Amino acid sequence: MSLSTSVLPSLEALFPADAMSTEAAECAVYAYDNSRREAIPDAVVFPSTHEQVLALVRLCREHRIALTARGRGTNTTGASVPVAAGIVASFERMNRILKIDPDNRLAVVEPGVLNADLQAALKPHGFFWAPDPTSAPYCSIAGNIACNAGGPRAVKYGATRDNVLALRAVDGRGEAFRSGKPTTKGATGYDLTRLLIGSEGTLAIVTEATLKLTALAPDKRTLRATYVDISTAAAAVARIMAQPVTPCALEYMDGEALKLARNHAGDSIPEAGAMLIIEVDGETGALPSAVAAISRAATGDGLIELHAASNNSEVDALWSARKALSPALRTLAPNKINEDVVVPVSRVPDLIAGLKTISERNAIPIVTFGHAGNGNIHVNLLYRPEDPVQAANAPGCLSEVFDLVFSLDGLLSGEHGIGLTKREFMPRALDTVSLDLMRLIKAQFDPDGILNPGKLLPDPASS
C-alpha cells in the first residue's frame, strides 16, 4: 500500500527530516535481507525513543499500514523483508547500552545495539552474553531476539530465549507493556518474554531488553578431531554429548566444508572426511580432567587425529575458517538453499546418513556444518539453476530434507527462524491445533495484522 497524503504529515511530525525517508533509493536499502528476497517499502523511519515507537505503531494501526521492524538485515529467511510495503522501522539509532550491572549479572540495552559491541563492553567487567551467531559483528540484539539466535556457545550456555530476563515492547494495538523482571526465577502468570523471543516481530516491537549475563571462564582449551567420514564424526558427537562434561562449543564440518575451510585457512585445516571443533572452558585446574573426558568420548571408530590447539593463532585459524563457510558456499552456488534444521543430538548420525541418501537420489550436492552439540545442523543444497536436472530436483530435495528432519523428531529451524522462506512448511512441522493457537495469540497482540505481515505463520487455507 502507498502512504496516503493524510499519513505523511503525521509521520513527518513524528520523525525529523533526517529520521525518515520516502525516497525510492533510500527505501531500497531497507528492502532486503540476507535471504536475497526484496520488497520496497513506502517509507523508512529511524526511531530513537520508545515514545516514537509507541506513536508510530498507533499511527500505523489507525491507517492500517504494514509496519516491519528491522535490525541490520542479516537474517537469512526474509523475515525483515517488507512484503506488504508500508513502513520499515530501522532500529540502528536506538543503540545505547543503558546499564551493565555485574552484581545482578544483567545488562539493559536498546534494540539496535550490535551483538559484538555488547560483548566488547561486557568483557572488561568479566562477563559475556551467551548468543554468539556468526553475524555477531553486524547483527542487533533485537534481531537476535526476533529469531532466538544461538551460535556455538548455545550448546552450554543456551540460545537467546535462555538469556533474556525482561523486555519492554509495543504490541500491534499500540499498547506499551513490560514482560519479565530482572530476576532469574519467576512464576507469575504467562511467560510473555519467552513468547516474544522467536516471534520475528509479528507480535510486538521490542524497545528495551534486560539480558542475563554469564561470567567469562578463566581458561579454555580447543580440540580438533578429524574422522574418516561424516557418519563416524556424527557418532562421536552423540558420545560427547552423552557424557557429563558439557563442551562450550561443539562444531561440525563435513568433508566438502573442510575443503572450503582449507581454501580459507590453508594447511591449518587438515584433510579429512569430517571434523569437529571442540572447546571446553572453566577453571584452569579443572580443564585437564574435562579435556580427558571429552577426548575419551571423541575417540572411536573412524577417528584420524585428536589434536589440541597449542596457541591462540591456531584457535583463531580454526574459528575463522568455520565462520567463513557460509559466504564461501555462496561463491560456489550463488542460489544455494541454506537451512538450519535441528534434531535431538542422538539422532544426528541418522540425519547425516539420510542427507547423504537424499543428495545422491537428487544429484544435488549437500554440504553440512554447524552446531552439532545441540543437533543444529546447517544443511546447504548447492544446486545450480542453469542445470536442468538440479533445478527440477531442488524443490523436492528440500522437501525430502524436511521430511527426514520431521521423522527424526526435529524442527525446521534451530536459530534462523521461519520468515518467508519456510512458512509454507509450517503445517507439516506443527499440528493444526498448535497453529490455530498461534494465530489466536497473533490476533490478541496484533488484531489488525499490521506487524510484519506475511511472515512466520502460514495462511489458514494452507494448513
Q: Is the pLDDT of residue 131 over 80?
A: yes
Q: What angle do CA 411, 413, 417 make, to 5 degrees?
A: 135
The mean pLDDT of 320-344, rounded to a whole number, is 84
Taking each helix axis from N to C end, the angle separating 388-407 and 348-362, rounded to the nearest 10 degrees, works out to: 160
What's the rounded mean pLDDT across residues 179-205?
A: 97
Contacts for 337 with CB less than 8 Å, ≥ 6 apart: 380, 381, 383, 394, 398
265-280, pLDDT tens digit by residue? 788 889 999 999 999 9
Q: Buried (b) or exposed (e) across 80-92, using 16+ Cβ within 10 A?
A: bbbbbbbbbbbbb
| The total number of residues written for the chain in this structure | 463
113 contacts 141 by C-beta, under 8 angstroms: yes
**Phi-psi category of residue 269: left, alpha or beta, with phi > 0 → left and psi -120 to 50 → alpha:** beta
66, 60 in Cβ contact below 8 A? yes
Tell me the per-residue pLDDT of 251-266, one tens digit each, with 9 for 90 and over.
Answer: 999 999 999 888 877 8
**DSSP state, 425?**
G
pLDDT at 383: 87
Q: Is the pLDDT of residue 5 over 60?
A: yes
Does residue 324 register a pLDDT over 70? yes
Closest to 99 (Cα-Cα) out of 122, 70, 120: 122
Domain with CATH 3.30.465.10 in the chain: 97-215
* Predicted pLDDT at 237: 96
Q: What residue spans of 43-184 are helical by DSSP H?
A: 50-63, 115-122, 141-147, 154-157
Give Rg (Cα) of the chain: 23
Residue 403 region, left (φ>0) first, then alpha (ψ -120 to 50), else beta?
alpha
Share of the chain above pLDDT 90, in %: 88
Residue 388 burial (10 A CB sphere; 0-12, 13-18, 19+): exposed
- Return d(Cα 388, Cα 364) in angstroms, integer: 11
Neighbours of 387 (CB within 10 A): 13
CATH architecture of 219-322: 2-Layer Sandwich (3.30)
Average pLDDT, the chain: 95
Cα dist from 137 to 110, 111, 114, 323, 359, whole Å: 16, 15, 7, 12, 33
Residue pair 209/144 in contact (Cβ under 8 Å)? The answer is no
As annotated, the residues of the chain forming the CATH 3.30.70.2190 domain(s) are 219-322
* 3-class secondary-structure state, position 53: helix
CATH of 97-215, one of 3.90.70.10, 3.30.465.10, 3.40.50.460, 3.40.50.10140: 3.30.465.10
Q: What is the pLDDT of residues 363-405, one digit of tens each?
A: 999 999 999 999 999 999 998 888 899 989 999 999 999 999 9
Distances (CA, A) of 345 to 121, 160, 242, 354, 444: 34, 19, 9, 15, 36
pLDDT in the model for residue 323: 84
pLDDT tens-place string over residues 46-93: 999 999 999 999 999 999 999 999 999 999 999 999 999 999 999 999
Q: Please give the residue that has the higher pLDDT: either 199 or 319.
A: 199
pLDDT of residue 386: 87
Summary count for the chain: helices (H), strands (E): 16, 18
Range 129-133 average pLDDT: 97
Rounded distance, CA 236 to CA 255, Å? 16
pTM for the whole structure:
0.94
Residue 277 C-alpha cell reads as: 571443533
Q: What is the pLDDT of residue 463?
A: 62
- Residue 336 to residue 365: CA distance in whole angstroms: 10
1 pLDDT above the threshold of 60: no
Rounded-to-integer distance, Cα 234 and Cα 219, Å: 27
Q: What is the pLDDT of residues 284-299, one digit of tens each?
A: 999 999 999 999 999 9
Q: What is the mean pLDDT of residues 21-48?
A: 95
77: its cell numbers? 529467511
* Fold (CATH) for 326-407: Alpha-Beta Plaits (3.30.70)
Question: Quick one: average pLDDT of 237-246?
Answer: 96
As annotated, the residues of the chain forming the CATH 3.30.70.2740 domain(s) are 326-407
pLDDT band at 100 (very low <50, low <70, confident <90, very high): very high
CA-based nearest residue to 60, from 249, 243, 201? 201
